[in-house]
Amino acid sequence: MSAALLTAVARTAAPGAALRRFLALDSVVSTGNGLAYLAFSAPLGRLLGIGQGLLLGLGAFMVLYGAGVGLLASRRQPPVFPVKLVVEGNYAWAALSLVALFVWFEPTAAGAVWTAAQALVVASFAVFQQLALRADSGRQ
């Protein structure tokens, strides 16, 4: 992906601003998803074919993760090492989601689509965050 694509997606020419925007979006999506898992674990579990207990655990983790990523996004210059951890964590989450889909879970059709879609979204966050971090590091 090019710097032009990164600029277009982030709608800014400032890599630092792009990184903060991608982190903030990751935070909002992760926290919102986590809250939904916590509040509606039983009906979502039935819809997705994933256990209620697992959704509760994932929900709690995602709320905490989202808060941490939000804290990074709020920094004028997010520190490189924690951002790299977020990027690597997002790649790992996406990969484990797909492994779980085929190895551990027995989801409904909706659950299979949801799991694959969220893996794609999380992997996209990782790519854009990584590109923005590289662009920001190149300007310093």
Q: Give the tens place of pLDDT for each residue, 64-76.
A: 999 999 999 999 9
Reported as a single tens digit per residue, the pLDDT across 94-120 is 999 999 999 988 999 999 999 999 999
Instruction: Find the radius of gyration of the CA atoms of the chain.
Output: 16
pTM, rounded to two decimals: 0.84
Listed residue (74, 72, 43) closest to 56, CA to CA: 43
**Sign of the CA dihedral with 91 first, then 97, 103, and 109 last:** negative
